[in-house]
């Protein structure tokens, strides 16, 4: 065990100041990912700043301004509480479905919303400290690039990293056009569109997101939408529970008569970040909500996929998953 300092805090300002003062410190909320990484000697913080006492757990409706009708989710709310909150179950069932598809009930009871966004990849080469990994040790190489890469990226990867983001919740948040609210050590707050929050690996795969040093997520805002009853989260995995996605799809379809006014589609298990299926979305605008159109949209989206040695199957799987998710969305998730 590596020794570390434990520092409890009671305000956002105090917490951010601690991380500003110590670049080797980490925030501690639910700890469901961080503690595992510390046990594996992947993360080696010299200080844990406990933020569990911060009052950032509320789920509330936005009643004024341009986002009226949307909701704000506290960063320290537990995944279980968030998934089962009446406002979310009624107005954003896509988010409920995605959260309940992830991890186990015990982990969801501990995991925080902000921590879900900031969890690290589950790439086995990242966890195995004897193997090269640019995310864990920049400049050491990517063991998965020419290794066993069945679970890895088919979009947006680079020679430096082919890992995927593991979250289910984040895939739904990407489709829902969520906004991440953060606060820095200088007290300034900023809003980050969800599609800009996570990064593609490029040459710096050790950077998972666009947070500045010391910044802390305080809440997540989700705007109102018109597809609560025509949305669905599909997760394809090797076993029925407690497994990460081979491919997942968050889909929401807003209709105008019999035609699609807009579609929101995000994919998980395919990239270093939740992947918005923009080509598929663009194609579906104005089209009839038919299986044939859904298949064509899926074909267009998967055209730009670049598989690795062991994951070419994800292209066909992705086409089928997008089509099925959209078909299920049209029935409100009913078979």
Residue 163, domain member (yes or no) = no
Closest CA relative to residue 249, chosen from 273, 230, 266: 266
- For residue 333, the model assigns a pLDDT of 80
Residue 176, domain member (yes or no) = no
> 25-28 and 231-236 as β-strands: parallel, antiparallel, unpaired?
unpaired
What is the rounded average pLDDT for all residues in the chain?
A: 97
CATH number at residue 244: 3.30.390.50
Q: Is 205 exposed, middle or buried (0-12, 13-18, 19+ CB in 10 A)?
A: buried
pLDDT band at 236 (very low <50, low <70, confident <90, very high): very high
Nearest-angstrom CA–CA distance, 291 and 134: 41
- Tens-place pLDDT, residues 132-181: 999 999 999 999 999 999 999 999 999 999 999 999 999 999 999 999 99
- For residue 62, the model assigns a pLDDT of 96
Residue 250, domain member (yes or no) = yes
Nearest-angstrom CA–CA distance, 71 and 197: 19
Mean pLDDT of 282-309: 98
Residue 306, domain member (yes or no) = yes
- For residue 335, the model assigns a pLDDT of 62
pLDDT band at 203 (very low <50, low <70, confident <90, very high): very high
pLDDT band at 196 (very low <50, low <70, confident <90, very high): very high
- Tens-place pLDDT, residues 77-134: 999 999 999 999 999 999 999 999 999 999 999 999 999 999 999 999 999 999 999 9
- Tens-place pLDDT, residues 14-57: 999 999 999 999 999 999 999 999 999 999 999 999 999 999 99
Residue 151, domain member (yes or no) = no
Domain hosting residue 280, numbered range: 231-330
- Tens-place pLDDT, residues 47-64: 999 999 999 999 999 999
Q: Is 191 exposed, middle or buried (0-12, 13-18, 19+ CB in 10 A)?
A: exposed
Nearest-angstrom CA–CA distance, 266 and 275: 5
Q: From the CB of residue 307, how many other CB atoms can be counted at a distance below 10 Å?
A: 16
Mean pLDDT of 303-314: 98
Nearest-angstrom CA–CA distance, 109 and 106: 5
- Tens-place pLDDT, residues 242-279: 999 999 999 999 999 999 999 999 999 999 999 999 99
Residue 309 phi, psi (nearest 5): -60, -40
Residue 39, domain member (yes or no) = yes
Nearest-angstrom CA–CA distance, 308 and 323: 23
pTM listed for this prediction: 0.98
Residue 281 phi, psi (nearest 5): -60, -45
Indicate whether 332 pLDDT > 90. no
Residue 70, domain member (yes or no) = no
- For residue 66, the model assigns a pLDDT of 87
The residue from 36, 53, 70 where one domain ends is 53
Computed from CA positions of residues 126, 236, 234, 76, in that sequence, does the dihedral angle turn out positive or negative?
A: negative
The residue from 53, 76, 93 where one domain ends is 53
Kindly write down the DSSP assignment for every residue of 192-226, as one continuous string. EEHHHHB---TT-TT--B-PPTT-EEEEEEE---S
Mean pLDDT of 323-328: 98
CATH number at residue 41: 3.30.43.10
Indicate whether 214 pLDDT > 90. yes
- For residue 324, the model assigns a pLDDT of 98
Residue 322, domain member (yes or no) = yes
- For residue 334, the model assigns a pLDDT of 75
Domains: count for the chain: 2
- For residue 1, the model assigns a pLDDT of 87
């Amino acid at each position: 065990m590596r020794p570390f300092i434990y520092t409890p805090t009671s305000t956002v300002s105090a917490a951010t100041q601690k991380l500003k003062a110590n670049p080797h410190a980490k925030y501690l909320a639910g700890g469901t990912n961080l503690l595992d990484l510390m046990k594996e000697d992947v993360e080696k913080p010299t200080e844990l700043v406990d933020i569990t006492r911060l009052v950032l757990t509320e789920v509330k409706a936005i009643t004024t301004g341009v986002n009226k009708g949307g909701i704000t989710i506290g960063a320290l709310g537990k995944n279980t509480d968030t998934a089962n909150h009446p406002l979310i179950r009624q107005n954003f069932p896509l988010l409920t479905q995605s959260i309940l598809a992830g991890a186990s009930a015990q982990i969801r009871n501990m995991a925080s919303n902000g921590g879900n966004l900031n969890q690290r990849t589950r790439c086995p080469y990242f966890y195995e400290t004897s193997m090269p990994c640019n995310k864990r040790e920049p400049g050491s190489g990517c063991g998965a690039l020419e290794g066993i890469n069945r679970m890895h990226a088919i979009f947006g990867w680079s020679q430096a990293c082919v890992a995927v983001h593991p979250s289910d919740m984040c895939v739904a948040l990407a489709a829902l056009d969520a906004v991440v609210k953060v606060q820095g050590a200088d007290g300034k707050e900023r809003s980050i569109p969800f599609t800009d929050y996570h990064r593609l690996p490029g040459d710096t795969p050790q950077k998972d997101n666009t947070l500045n040093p010391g910044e802390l997520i305080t809440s997540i805002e989700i705007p109102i939408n018109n597809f609560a009853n025509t949305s669905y989260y599909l997760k394809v995995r090797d076993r029925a529970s407690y497994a990460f996605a081979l491919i997942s799809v968050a889909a929401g379809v807003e209709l105008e008569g019999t035609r699609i006014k807009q579609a929101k589609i995000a994919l998980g298990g395919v990239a270093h970040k939740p992947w918005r299926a923009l080509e598929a979305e663009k194609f579906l605008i104005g089209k009839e909500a038919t299986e044939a159109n859904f298949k064509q949209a899926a074909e267009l989206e998967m055209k730009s996929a670049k598989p690795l040695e062991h994951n070419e199957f994800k292209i066909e799987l992705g086409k089928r998953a997008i089509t099925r998710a959209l078909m299920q969305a049209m029935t409100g998730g009913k078979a």
